[in-house]
Amino acid sequence: MRRDGPDAAPSSMASEVGGCLLRQFEIAWQLTSFHLDGLSTEECLWRPADQGLHVRQTPDGQWRADWPEHEGYDLGPPSIAWLTWHLGFWWSMVLDHAFGDGALARENVTWPGNADDVRAWLGRLQGQWRAALEQATDDDLRSTRRTRWPFQDRPFGDVVAWANVELTKNAAEIGYARFLYARRPRS
């Protein structure tokens, strides 16, 4: 998070918080990158159970994600494809609603269709988000001006903290699913 000069010491708690949020994001992205490295399309499309959130290719070639009506355990575990879609979905939404026109909707976010394109997509989102965080000022973190999704009327710093937690959670879920895939029964 930007401070008032290139070598200026933090002038307020927000500066310290901004730096902490950026470092936390970097750690979360390292974990995410670890689980995305070497990820195959086969792993993405593997279903860990007979039911669970997944992506489906439509006749026009796009990949659409399931959307749950609830978050109960009886849904079953999601596929890695769905998890990577979900990560790209919320990241696209928060970027569009905080820094764009706020018109992006869930239905407009599709899964890229293969692991290489997933890595490229998420890498672009990471770069955009990091650039935005590096430009954020103390006033930006305290202001509600950019807070339009996933909630409103809270400081933008809350959105940054939420995104860090969400990224960490998605990384952990992808990693766990990769462990299950690696140890799946083979027929």
pLDDT over 80 (residue 1): no
Rounded (5°) CA angle 112-165-72: 75
Phi/psi at 166 (5° precision): -60, -40
Per-residue pLDDT reduced to its tens digit, 123-168: 999 999 999 999 998 899 999 999 999 999 999 999 999 999 999 9
The pLDDT of 82-103, averaged and rounded, is: 98
The pLDDT of 77-100, averaged and rounded, is: 98
pLDDT over 90 (residue 13): no
For 186, the token pair is: 């083979």
pLDDT over 80 (residue 8): no
Q: Which residue has the higher pLDDT, 150 or 186?
A: 150
Q: What is the pTM of this model?
A: 0.91
Is the distance from CB of 90 to CB of 82 less than 8 angstroms? no
Residue 10: predicted pLDDT: 43
pLDDT over 60 (residue 18): yes
pLDDT over 60 (residue 4): no
pLDDT over 50 (residue 32): yes
Q: Which domains does the chain have, with CATH numbers?
A: 13-67+74-182 (1.20.120)
Residue 164: predicted pLDDT: 98
DSSP string over the chain: ---SSTTPPP-SHHHHHHHHHHHHHHHHHHHHHHHHTT--HHHHH--SSSS---EEE-TTS-EEE---S---GGG-PPPHHHHHHHHHHHHHHHHHHHHS-S---GGG--B-SSHHHHHHHHHHHHHHHHHHHHH--HHHHH-STT--SS-SSS-HHHHHHHHHHHHHHHHHHHHHHHHHHHT----
How far apart CA 145 and CA 96 sit, in angstroms, is 13
Per-residue pLDDT reduced to its tens digit, 114-128: 999 999 999 999 999
